[in-house]
Each structure stands twice: as C-alpha cells, then as structure tokens.
Structure 1
Amino acid sequence: MRVENLRDIAIIAHVDHGKTTLCDKLLRAAGAFRANQEVQERVLDSNDQERERGITILAKNISIDYNGVKINIIDTPGHADFGGEVERVLRMADGALLLVDAFEGPMPQTRFVLRHAIDTGLYVMIVINKIDRPGADPEKAYNDCLDLMADLGATDEQLEFAMEHVVYCSGVNGYARLDPEDGNMDMYPLLDMIVNDLPAPEVDVDGPLAMQCVTIDHSNFVGRIGIGRVYSGTIHTGDQILVVKNDGERKTATVKQLFTFDYLGRTECSEVEAGDIAAVVGVDNTDIGDVYTDPENPVELDPIEIDPPTLSIVFEASTSPLVGRDGDIVGARQLKERLFNERENNVTMRIEELPDKSGVEVSGRGILHLSVLMETMRREGYEFQVGRPRVLFKKDENGNLQEPIEQAVVECPDEYAGKVIEVFGNAGGTMTSMETGTSVTHLEFRIPTRGIMGLKNRILNVTHGEGVFYHTFLEYGPYAGEIGGRKNGAMIAMTTEKAVAYALGTLQERGALFVEPGTECYEGMLVGERNQPGDMVVNIARTKNLGNQRSSTADISVQLVPPRTFSLEEALEYIIDDELVEITPKNIRMRKRLLNATDRKKAANRAK
C-alpha cells in the first residue's frame, strides 16, 4: 500500500548549484520559522567547513509538513569526493529533485549524482535554479537535462515523468514557477508538485519489520545511531530486533530510543511506521548496510556496497623543530586515538595503523575528502605531518594492475584550449570530447587520479585564471604507466632562523618564494620553488655585510614579490615522495622528510 501522507525525496545537484539554499526556502515556506525569526543562510550547512567552503559535506535529513503531508527531504553532497554519501541515502527516497543552474546547465558532478538516482529507479523532477542570474537560459538547461537522462539510460517512464515535471526557481529570492515568466513569488508551486506528483512510499505496513541503516550518526553519550528508512512493518521503542550484517553475521539488539525527523531536528517517539525515516539507538557498533528486522520473520534486503577508497595518506606525529609552538596536542598516541575515534564516526574512510607503528594510514575518496579531516583536526589543536597522497591500486581477475581513472572537464576561452590539451597530455590524460561554443571550448578527458594531483594550478596558469576545472571518479582502469611529477626543484632552508628580506631579495631571482621576511623557517623546510629542475639548499637569513665606507641607510630597499601561499589541498598536491606537509593550527608548512642535507645525499646514494 502507499502511505499517502508521506513523501521521501532527495535533492541532488552539482556542487554550488543551490541545494542547501533551496532547502532554506522550503523550510520557510512550510512554516518552520516564525515570520520575524532571523535565520542564518544555508542553515543546513551546520559544519564550520561547510559554511566556509560553501559546499555540503554530510548528507542531512530534514522534514517539513505541507497540507497534511510529511515531506522527508535529504540534502546530498554535490562534490564527488563525498559520493559515498549520495549512493547510500538515495535508497531512502522514492523521488529526487534534480537541481541545475540555469546558466551553467548540467555539470560533470550532475552526471555523477543523476546516474545514481536513475540506477536506483527514482522518479526525477527537474528544478532549474538561478533563473534570475544574468545570462541564464532555463530552456536550454532543461533540454540538456533530458538529453543527459537519456544518455545515462533512464527508462521511458523516468524520461516521461521528467518531461512533464519541471519547475523554474530562484532559491535566493525564494520563488518557484511553472513558467520562467509567470511572475509567481513564492515556493508553493514546487511544494504542490512534490505532494501531488512525486510517488508516495509503497510499503507493507502490516508486514514484518524491515529497515536498513544507510547513514551513521554518533553521540558521545549513546554511541552510534543508525539512520534509515523503514521498508515494512513498524519499529517500537523496546523492540527486540535481529541485526543482519553485510557479511551475513546475525545478532539481536534492543531498541533503546527511537527518533523521527521534524523540521531541522529530531523528535523522540515510541514507534515509526513503514515509509518514514527513523534514527535508532541501541544497536552496538552498527554499520552501513545493517538490516534491522523481525527475529521470527526475518526479511532479506540487498547489501549496500560502499565504493572503495582511491587515495591514502599516512598521518604521523610531527618531527618538526618548531613542534608544539602552535598546537596543544602533538603526541603520536593522541593522534592515533583521534583517528581511531574518526573510524567509529566516519564509515566512508578506511583507517588502519601501519605494521611498524610509525603512523596511521587514512584512505578516502579524494584529496578534498581527506583534507576535510585534516582541517577539522588542526582546528581541534592537533599538530601532525602527512606524506604525499598515494593512489590505491588493485588487480583484476587476470592479475593486471588497475588504477582509479577520473573524468575531467575543462571549460576555457578558445585561445587556451591547445595549452590545456598539452597539460593533460603531459599528465597522462586522453581527450574524449571537445565542443566549441561562441567563445568557450568544452573539453573532456580520461585521466588517472595520479595525473590529477597538482593539475588545477597548471590549468589556471595556462588559461590565465579563466579556466573552469572539475573532475570526478569514473572507474578503475588499466595502469597508465609512469607519469611525470613536479618538474621544478625546491629551495630548501639550510638553517633554523627567521627569513630576512635581503636574502629573499637575491633568492626571488632564482624562482618563486613561499615565505616572507620574519617567517620562522627551519633546516629542511621548503621556502620556494626553483625555475629549473633539482633542489637547492639556500640561506634565508643572510644579511648584507656593512663596511665603514657607507651607512646602511644608503642601500636601496629590497622590493619583494608577495610569496606564493598554499591551501591544504594545494600543499598535498604539490609535494613529492620525499616531502611532507606539516599541519598546525596556525600554519601549513612543506618540508623534506629528511631535514639534513647530508642525510638526504646519503639516502639518494643508497637508492642508486
């Protein structure tokens, strides 16, 4: 039977197309806030980093009541590095809102999230957002969405539904329209279409209990909380349930607390019926894919496969001469405890201690996925160092080496297209598509994940900052052979002192600097990049010798170019195998693994 007073929908889109802003307006239209209540923008982006980066990192559940119907809305991440979240939470939905920017149209990660929605069998409603943006072309964006659905193998029913159900929105201004020019200024057309046209959950309310855990929350008081949709039956507080793991292991548990989603929060309740989304407390060490069912009449559900990680980074306690200056937590034991605690909360990462106990290997879906954890830890006061991201290889049935392959998309002015193709060619990429528009060229490539590292800066350089670059994991493919790394050598400090303007003035003629006068440097730290291959040890504290022939004031002041600064992701992509990134609450420094120049020469000789 269908539960007519419920709708379970997911909002899917490319990063920065306005999912979270649209959720804000739906909440306000449904009366979640008082008329005069001040609410911060993107209220669902509760995490500090989500607000600063302007992206959704964790899938969120909210619910709104509209005309007597409870609408469960799942706000999904748009970035491919958090794709593991998207794949799983779509199982809780019966329909999806595909949100597309009216100016940009479908983007690479639109394809990524839409493919999962189509494969899951969801009915997709197209929402063309930002129709008020200058240069917006809502009709073209709508037609491109239908073409993309056809390319991704949507069924005739899914295509027909999408053709008949399109809404034109401005999330920022809070209106939805059935026609871009109809003048409506509220969100009710979108809410009406969700309630009237998206399918209600089709479930067996009277059958045995069947619920699958698709998201894990964590509380310091009650441990792991399993979140998922009840597919059949009813779950009650105090029920004895059977927990079936992905590997077939079975155990019993007691439901200690039960919650449903209510606007922005959760409400404790005594029972949750089929079709609704529940949060269950009481299942020890519950995992993604766990099925909660009736012990006497167990129901089998398909296991959930979490896509394997593609990159790993080793975390180590900091060995920098400046350790302890910025952070309070610097010990190896504390670092290990923090990462093992993350393993409890974050099931999309694989976290294991190295056999020699020298560090902890953390594996994830991409640089951004891993750097979000590092940024969180440095804000908590941790100091640590990490090595270069390493791609995770695997072997196929015939024993051939396989590596992760990404789809990369670049849009740039026509005159730079040749340079972009050359950059990708040097990084092991193969062009699969090229479309030229009025003044912009759209290029698509297949490229190994190894080749993606450090590519964004090179693309921005050759396109003079006018290129737009996206990439998303595609599949595991044959090993592509050796790929050239960083071509230029580094300038390495020879002493532990503060940088001096006079020394930097002479060094900037040899390359780009990473430090400015007064920066604390230490032996083995990277202070710049040479204009040619090969590392160079430099003295960043050299001062001008003053004789009695003239006074110091007679010198012409040194004109320094501003230093090149690195974000955490850029530093991780920049370093090579014998280098580390030192991460503290206040600084991100790059250094050699062996700080002493003599030690580095000995190690190089041994390697030969």
Structure 2
Amino acid sequence: MRTLNLGILAHVDAGKTSLTERLLQAAGVIDEVGSVDAGSTRTDSLDLERRRGITIKSAVVSFTLGGTGVNLIDTPGHPDFIAEVERVLNLLDGAVLVVSAVEGVQAQTRVLYRALRRLGVPTVVFVNKIDRAGARTDDLVRDLRAKLDPAMVAVDAVDGLGTATADSEPRERDAAYTEDLLEALLDSAADTAPTEAGRVDDLVDAYLDDPAPTDHSGMSHVARDAALDAAFAERVALARAHPVHFGSAITGTGIDGLVAGLGRYLPGSEGDPAGPLSGTVFKVERGPAGERIAYARLFSGAVAVRDRVPVGDGREGKVTGISVFEDGDDHARSRAEAGQIAKLRGLGEVRIGDAIGRPPKLRTEHFLRPALETVVAPVRERDRPALHTALTHLAEQDPLIGLRHDESRRELSVSLYGEVQKEVIGSTLAEEHGLEVDFRTSTVICVERVTGSGEAVEVIAKAPNPFLATVGLRIEPGPGIDFRLGVELGSMPFAFFKAVEETVHDTLREGLHGWQVEGATVTMTRSGYWARQSSAHGGFDKSMSSTAGDFRSLVPLVLMDALRRAGTVVCEPLHRFRIELPAADLGGVLAALAKLRAVPEPPEIRGSRCALEGTIPAGAVHGLGQRLPGLTSGEGVLESVFERHEPVTGPVPSRPRTDANPLDREAYLLALTRRVTGG
C-alpha cells in the first residue's frame, strides 16, 4: 500500500486540528468530529492543550484514504513551538498548509511556508473558514501569491462565501483556470535548471501558439488539458507550485475536494521492507514506569520485538515493544516496516534525532535556536533534586530546551522561544511531576564570535602543565565549529584525538563572556603523550602514563588561552519584523520602535493602511507585541522571525559560567581536584 506521511501546519487558530478531525471522519476512523473548544479532539491529548485550545506537542494518527495509508502528524501552530514543527518536517512526504479565509496570511503562516519551501516539502494549501463573515477568496489568493509564492492556483470555486451555507466545488475548466495554471508553471520554473525550465516553456508555448485547437473528436482539448494538469501536478510534487483548496473544517464542505487533491498532488513513499533498517526518532516520551518511548519513522527495512538495533552514534538497544499507528490509534505489533511510524520501547538512552539502524538521508535540518532563557526555581527548596530530574526528562523530549545547571549558584536555566513556553513548562512540571516552580524574567541568549586568530600550547612535563599530555591549539574564525588536525593522525592513539575533539566542542559552549562560541575553526597544532608505563613490579603506573583524561583536562586551559588571544565579540539575536497598522498611527509606532532600538525601513503606505518592516533586538519583541495594541487601537498586526546575530552595542552582556572556569587557572585546577577527590 502507498504510504503518505502528511503534516498539517498553520498559524494558531487557523483550524488545523479541526481539519484533522474532519479527515479522520472522512476516513471512517471517528463518527463524530471533536471540538477544540470542548477539548474533545483526537490529537490534542495534553490537559494544557485542551484547556488552551492549542496544539503543543506533535501528535500522530493513521488512517486509510482511497487505498493510501496516511500517517497524519498534527503540529503546533503557536510560534513558541516552532522547534516541534521543524523536527517533523524531515518525516513528511507532503504537507497541508491551513490558512484562515478571514485572517489570511499571518505571521506564523510565513514562517511555516519558508520552512516547507527550504526543505522542499510538497505542499497543498487549504483555505479554511469560508463560512465565516469576512471570508475572502480572490483577494486571499492574491495575498498568497504576493506573500508566499506566485505559483499558487485556486483549484476550487466557492458559492455563498461568508455564510453558513458556503460551498466549495472544483473549478470549471475555462480560459481563466487555464491561464492561472500557465502562469503558475512559468513562475514555478523561474529559478530552476535550464532543462527543467525548458520543458515548462515548451508546454506553455504550445498553448500560446494555438490556444483553441479544433478536432472533431475533441480529444486534442482533452489530451492537452491532461498534459497541463500532469505538468502542474509534477511541479507540486517538486514543491515548486501549490494548489489552493477552499472549505470549512466546521461544516465539512470542501473536505472531499481536499482528499482528492492529496491523492492527486502529493507523492507518497515506497520504502523497501526487505532493505537495510533505516529510521529516525522525532519524538521521545516517558511511559507509566518512566521508560523512554521513541517515536520513529522507518524509511527502509523492518524491526521486530527482541531485535537488537544500532541507535544514534554507535549505541545499541534491544526493542522490547512495538506499537504501530493504524486505523486512528496505535496498536501493539510484533513488527514495524518501512513507511510506518512506530513507537519503540526498550531503546534505553534514545534521544530525539537518533538514527535507528543506518542513518537515513534527510532534508537539511534548520532549527531556529531559542532566543530567550529563564531560571526555573522550585517553590519548595526540598524539590530541587526532583526539579533537576524532571527538567532533564523534558530536555530529552525537546533537545532545544537547552537545560543549563549552574552548580555554584544552584540554578537551573532553560531556553525559550517565547513566554507561552513558561506556562507549558510550569503546567507540565505541576501536573506530571507534582512540582511547583517560579520563573525569573526571561533574558536574551547571545553568542560569541571569534574576531582574530589565537594560538596556545602546553607541553608535557613542563611547567605549569600538570597533565601528562601535550596539546597545541589554534582558533580562528570559520563556519560552524570545525576541528582539524595539523599533526599526523598516527602521532598518538586515536582515543586521545577523539578526547581532544570532543572537549573542544564542550569547551566552546561557554566563551570568554560565558556565551556559546559559534563560527570557529580549531586546529590541533601540537600533540604528545607518554606511552603506557609499568612500575618495577610490572603493574600499570598512572603517574607515568598518559590517559584520555589528561587530554580532556588540559584542552580547556589551552583552548581558552588561545581564544583569549584571538578575542571574541558578543552578538545578540535580531528579528525581522513586519507591522501592518493604520497609517494615522505610524508616528507613535515609530517613536516606540526607536526606544526599543529597532531599525525600521521606509514604510509602505497603501491608502489608510501601511506596512512597516525592519529589524529589532529579540529581547524587545515581546515588549513591542504588548505595546502595539494600545498604539494602534487594537488594529496593529505584528509578525517577527529570527534573522541574524549582530554585535551588541553598549555594555557587553555576560553570562555566569557553569563549568570549572578554565579562564581562571587556579580555580579550574582546584575544581578538578575536588571533583577527583570528592572534596
């Protein structure tokens, strides 16, 4: 059976969870559509999701539509949970982007579409809520083309727009529809390879040269229309063009057309169950006994209960239980195969992002890093150990939570995309772990960039080096964090090189000012060790033999010395913002932006409305969002997305270190001694 791994994405409140319910009903999985407001939907299972009426965690439900097995993944719409969305995109064969017919293209709509386009996920657009007052069709399609992608084609026509009896039917094959398809094909080929663009041009030219072919049988019309439809479907499958369906998830109109479109436009997957095992973990949750349960999509091969499988970077786990998503729920099975999404038990320390078996070839991941962090403190001091354990479990489920433990200050910090996450984390800790917590005011997460080149070396048996290792390191600006060898690979045991590389990455999590270092190339320029020695009585003598621990202890001192000589600059995250507001309120908004250190561009004024774009420090976005309604009589609409990091102006912010502080040699060595002796 053909399998379609389908994602439903939307700005919050556009109606994607309601659409999921309609699709489940269309597949015969449920008899009655659940309500988001009533908290009775199938995919919003968390208590907080039901109370707030939003999706927080991705949920999976499977069903069959027209001979196709669909694994449908309902994803969060609130921007605070964008990481939950992005990690799902690698699993998808296609996506439905839901847009409200009333609100139109919103802030998160743009963010989601950019992610879908960047990763090449074939996407169908569903315009929901055509039964609502204020619903739009033609104007909305023009907005979709202008704000998202010009290669958008409305494939449905709507009657009774904005009324309870609104209906949606496939568009008639007329000159206007043909023109829309031709324009979309040309737009879709604008930035493609010459051969690909040439095929599209040839098809379009055939229409333009002879727009009304005559044939007594009428077959030339049919054949050419079929060729045009096939070309458009091909462009959709390549994520270059997008059909736009209209309907209402509440009334059910347009759902049949959408289902037909999913089968027509979105390619499925045909994994080989007999091939080598290959899958990826996209979600981890805890079972009743605290055991980890991994959600994995299998791209190839099969896995059975009691199989021992490779997990992640060289680990191995024994599968003790399997559940497969089928017919609207997950069912215990003895085996899972390619194309399926399964829940696997028994894989021990499995983490999100781990490969199961052979690592699959995935689309390039691009997780926007959280821009904020906050300290989480227990209301009752006796709960501090339990809080550390609970937050560790949450970090397993969401790696971007970025848990930091400052032992000297006894503080636990987590990363955030926005303030709503505080409520989610607080509710989760209270409801699942019985812990009451307080949050401090959120602060901005900066990064450090290397500004020059610096080099340092410490030699074995030469003061002040107390370790049985020789390490020389040079650090300079570069893409990512890249570790290179400037010495012969055979000059010392591979385990020692591995220890150096791992410690370099660990050490650069905190730079000269306590922020993570990004964009650096580190080259090992010198190495040396003492081979395994024996005492006079033939026993191993640690005092005369180098170990990997010597290198792990020495690297932070050498690397931070080199980094100090190279220098770093602290950079803060900047967001690109867009504000749509009444033109009469522009002056007040510009004044507020100036106080928030925003840099606006010239406004775009259209009659009584205007649009304003520019950049703003990430830490000021929340404040701008709070002030905007009062400045615009509630009519201002703000959207923002991370754009880049820029050097901080004014006082340089620093963050307390959580490591043993290799910038202070005496304190660092004392901390190591205490760690070894337990003092």
When normalised by structure 1's length, the TM-score is: 0.68
Match of 2:445 in 1: 392
- 1:116-146 Cα offsets, whole Å, 9 max, x none, are 1112211111111112222222223223323
Structure number with bigger Rg: 2
Are 2:317 and 1:253 aligned? yes
Match of 2:343 in 1: 279
Contact 2:237 2:265 in 1 (8 A): no
- Give 1:302 deviation, angstroms: 7.4
Q: How does 1:583-602 map to 2 (within 5 A)?
A: none
Contact 2:309 2:356 in 1 (8 A): yes
- 1:525-555 Cα offsets, whole Å, 9 max, x none, are xxxxxxxxxxxxxxxxxxxxxxxxxxxxxxx
Contact 1:80 1:472 in 2 (8 A): no
Contact 2:579 2:611 in 1 (8 A): yes
Match of 1:311 in 2: 372
Letter in 2 for 1:406: H
- 1:259-318 Cα offsets, whole Å, 9 max, x none, are 221354211112222122222112111112211116xxx767678565433211112244
- 1:552-571 Cα offsets, whole Å, 9 max, x none, are xxxxxxxxxxxxxxxxxxxx
Q: 1:82 to 1:432 in 2, by over 3 A?
A: farther
CA distance in 2, matches of 1:221, 1:375: 20
Contact 1:432 1:445 in 2 (8 A): yes
Structure 1 spans left out of the alignment, 5+ residues: 177-186, 319-323, 484-576, 578-608
Match of 1:215 in 2: 283
- Give 1:255 deviation, angstroms: 1.4
CA distance in 2, matches of 1:383, 1:226: 28
CA distance in 2, matches of 1:59, 1:102: 24
Q: 1:255 to 1:122 in 2, by over 3 A?
A: same
Are 2:417 and 1:365 aligned? yes
**Of 253, 258, 277, which residue of structure 2 is paired with 1:175?**
253
Are 2:266 and 1:198 aligned? yes
CA distance in 2, matches of 1:140, 1:439: 18
- Give 1:400 deviation, angstroms: 2.6
**Of 401, 406, 415, which residue of structure 1 is paired with 2:575?**
406
Match of 2:12 in 1: 15
Match of 2:668 in 1: none
Match of 1:516 in 2: none
- Give 1:67 deviation, angstroms: 2.4
Percent sequence identity is 29
Contact 1:209 1:299 in 2 (8 A): no
Contact 1:259 1:278 in 2 (8 A): yes
CA distance in 2, matches of 1:458, 1:395: 31
- Give 1:23 deviation, angstroms: 0.6
Q: Which has the higher helix share?
A: 2
Contact 1:311 1:391 in 2 (8 A): yes
Letter in 2 for 1:173: T
- Give 1:202 deviation, angstroms: 4.1
Contact 1:260 1:278 in 2 (8 A): yes
CA distance in 2, matches of 1:331, 1:256: 33
Letter in 1 for 2:340: D
Letter in 2 for 1:26: L
CA distance in 2, matches of 1:27, 1:306: 30
Match of 1:458 in 2: 627
Q: 1:278 to 1:148 in 2, by over 3 A?
A: farther
- 1:371-398 Cα offsets, whole Å, 9 max, x none, are 3212433567644333221111112242
When normalised by structure 2's length, the TM-score is: 0.61
SS at match of 1:469: strand
Contact 1:123 1:161 in 2 (8 A): yes
CA distance in 2, matches of 1:482, 1:419: 28
- Give 1:93 deviation, angstroms: 0.7
Are 2:517 and 1:348 aligned? no
SS at match of 1:465: coil
- Give 1:438 deviation, angstroms: 4.8
CA distance in 1, matches of 2:40, 2:582: 34
Q: How does 1:150-169 map to 2 (within 5 A)?
A: 150=149, 157-158=235-236, 163=241, 165-169=243-247
Contact 1:101 1:141 in 2 (8 A): no
Contact 2:430 2:436 in 1 (8 A): yes
- 1:397-417 Cα offsets, whole Å, 9 max, x none, are 423322122233333333222
Q: How does 1:61-100 map to 2 (within 5 A)?
A: 61-100=60-99
CA distance in 2, matches of 1:279, 1:239: 14
Structure 2 spans left out of the alignment, 5+ residues: 152-186, 193-234, 452-567, 656-679
- Give 1:89 deviation, angstroms: 0.4
SS at match of 2:29: coil
CA distance in 1, matches of 2:49, 2:135: 26
Match of 2:24 in 1: 27
Letter in 2 for 1:188: D
Letter in 1 for 2:621: I
CA RMSD of aligned residues (A): 3.1
- Give 1:96 deviation, angstroms: 1.0
- Give 1:90 deviation, angstroms: 0.9
Q: How does 1:159-558 map to 2 (within 5 A)?
A: 163=241, 165-176=243-254, 187-221=255-289, 223-244=291-312, 249-293=313-357, 306-318=367-379, 331-378=383-430, 382-398=435-451, 399-432=568-601, 434-481=603-650
- 1:23-72 Cα offsets, whole Å, 9 max, x none, are 11111121112369999554422223223333221111111212232111
SS at match of 2:132: coil
Q: 1:373 to 1:264 in 2, by over 3 A?
A: farther
Are 2:123 and 1:124 aligned? yes
- Give 1:80 deviation, angstroms: 2.1
Contact 2:321 2:344 in 1 (8 A): yes
Letter in 2 for 1:436: I
Contact 1:126 1:142 in 2 (8 A): no
- Give 1:432 deviation, angstroms: 3.8
- Give 1:206 deviation, angstroms: 3.0
Q: 1:144 to 1:482 in 2, by over 3 A?
A: farther
Contact 2:310 2:316 in 1 (8 A): yes
- Give 1:356 deviation, angstroms: 1.5
CA distance in 1, matches of 2:596, 2:323: 50
- 1:187-223 Cα offsets, whole Å, 9 max, x none, are 2221122123310114344321100112222213262
CA distance in 2, matches of 1:369, 1:481: 29
